[in-house]
Amino acid sequence: MITFLLGCLGVYILYFRLQKFEVPTFEQKLPNLLSVIIPARNEEKRLPVLLESLKNIKNIPLEIIVVNDQSSDKTAEVATTFGCKLVEAPGRPEGWTGKSWACHYGAKFASSDLILFTDADTRFFEKGLSSFIKSHLYHQLDMSCPMIFHRSRLWWEYLIGAFHLLYLLGTNFNGRASIRRLYANGQCLLFRQDFYVENSHFEIKEDLAEDMALAKRCLEFGGKYQVYSNSIVYDVQMFSDFKSFYRGWHRIFRLGLKHTSIQASLEITLVVIAMLGGGKWLFGFPELLLVIVSGFFVYKNQKLFGEFSGGGILLLPFTILLFTWISVHAVISNTLGNSYIWRGRNYNTTSKS
């Protein structure tokens, strides 16, 4: 009975957190120029997709700045082939971590009043990007971030919508920006230039989760920050195989732990109980009903943030197991202070070096 009641609470939380907060959008003139800054380290294979998508955007004049972050491949050649402004980032000064140095350095060369930071594995859509920028300008925001949309190419990627949903439930991805439940994604961050000058990557240079740190600083210092989810602005296939998927999400979970509240963790646990019917869905109709209702919510909403198949609902227990295992692994790694290698560099979430 207790697990059933907890599951009912989990269903309510799932329903409540999936209520979409529509950002009012009105007609707004697009800017005369948008500076797009791309930190790139050994991105010769992924960069062409991004640059081709930006090349196809005709209604916004773009200043595309590729910051070559000590690459050992042909990243620089790809950038120049597409006619981008190429900036060679010097070695990272002491105290800087992650890609923050490349972003900060590249921003010095921006000419626009609007600065958009994006990653090399992103692909933009003209209509969505235009609507996003109009919303940013109309609401006079200092910083904004659109919802991610996952591009699936591998067969198993289509089946793990619930995995991504559980991660999003720890944030306020569908609601008003909140320091306690921040959603921010470095795939696409838009800044008002004068605000960024005062609240740049320099201010959070020691934080590996630079996207969350920037959004938190924006709110803490009275800035206006908003998550945009009215339309698909971009999509991304973050990882090329299951091994890189596991390693990448293990890293993301480790970095996100410091920004995840106890309340959010408890809510995710309750949602998991609902999805599994309290572990008793094979033995009673009430528990099975929990599984059906929560599965319906996942099915209905997963296509809002990725190319996911309804067939994945049948594999919910395996998806939940994967999410739980990576979460536990992340906690253990952080507790032990284990370092990890990303983009050829060694990092440790417990240190500031």
| Whether 50 and 146 share a structural domain | yes
| Short-list 17, 21, 4, 7, CA closest to 298 | 17
**Local confidence band at 20 (pLDDT 50, 70, 90 cut-offs):** confident
| Whether 233 and 256 share a structural domain | no
Q: Which two tokens stand for residue 186?
A: 């470095």
Mean pLDDT of 298-310: 94
Mean pLDDT of 242-259: 89
What would the pLDDT profile of 70-119 be if each residue is shown by its tens digit? 899 999 999 999 999 999 999 889 888 778 999 999 999 999 999 999 99
CA–CA distances in Å: residue 125 to residues 1, 12, 39, 230, 251: 49, 34, 20, 13, 28
Environment class of 113 (CB within 10 Å of its CB; exposed 0-12, middle 13-18, buried 19+): middle
DSSP-derived pairing of the beta strands 114-118 and 34-40:
parallel
* Residues 201, 102 contacting (CB under 8 angstroms): no
What would the pLDDT profile of 143-194 be if each residue is shown by its tens digit? 999 999 999 999 999 999 999 999 999 998 876 778 888 999 999 999 999 9
- Rounded (10°) angle between helices 285-301 and 316-336: 80
* Three-class secondary structure of residue 313 per DSSP: helix
Element (H, E) at 341: strand 339-342
Q: Is the pLDDT of residue 351 over 50?
A: no
Q: Which residues contact 329 (CB under 8 A, 6 or more apart)?
A: 250, 253
Q: The domain containing residue 286 runs over which residues?
A: 2-19+244-333
Beta-bridge mates of residue 247: none
Residue 344 lies in a domain: no
- pLDDT confidence of residue 203: 93
Residue 339 lies in a domain: no
Candidate from 22-31, 116-125, 181-190, 249-258 with smallest mean pLDDT: 22-31
Residue 269 lies in a domain: yes
* Residues 102, 41 contacting (CB under 8 angstroms): yes
- pLDDT confidence of residue 284: 67
Taking residue 109's Cβ as centre, other Cβ atoms within 10 Å add up to: 14
| Whether 214 and 300 share a structural domain | no
| Whether 196 and 314 share a structural domain | no
- pLDDT confidence of residue 168: 93
Residue 258 lies in a domain: yes
Percent over 90 (pLDDT), the chain: 73
Mean per-residue pLDDT over the chain, rounded = 90
C-alpha to C-alpha distance for 125 and 144, rounded to whole angstroms:
17
The CATH code of the domain that includes 177 is 3.90.550.10
- pLDDT confidence of residue 352: 43
Residue 47 lies in a domain: yes
What dihedral do alpha carbons 245, 122, 214, 223 form, nearest 10°?
A: -140
- pLDDT confidence of residue 46: 93
- Alpha helical stretches, state H, 42-125: 47-55, 75-81, 100-107
109 phi/psi in degrees, rounded to 5: -100, 5
| Whether 188 and 91 share a structural domain | yes
C-alpha to C-alpha distance for 245 and 254, rounded to whole angstroms:
14
As for how many domains the chain has, the answer is: 2
Residue 154 lies in a domain: yes
Amino acid (1-letter code) at residue 119? D
Element (H, E) at 190: strand 188-192
| Whether 174 and 210 share a structural domain | yes
- The number of C-alpha atoms within 13 Å of 210 and in the hemisphere containing its C-beta is 25
- pLDDT confidence of residue 342: 64
- The number of C-alpha atoms within 13 Å of 162 and in the hemisphere containing its C-beta is 30
Q: Which two tokens stand for residue 192?
A: 């008002």
Q: Is the pLDDT of residue 217 over 50?
A: yes
| Whether 128 and 152 share a structural domain | yes
* Residues 183, 176 contacting (CB under 8 angstroms): no
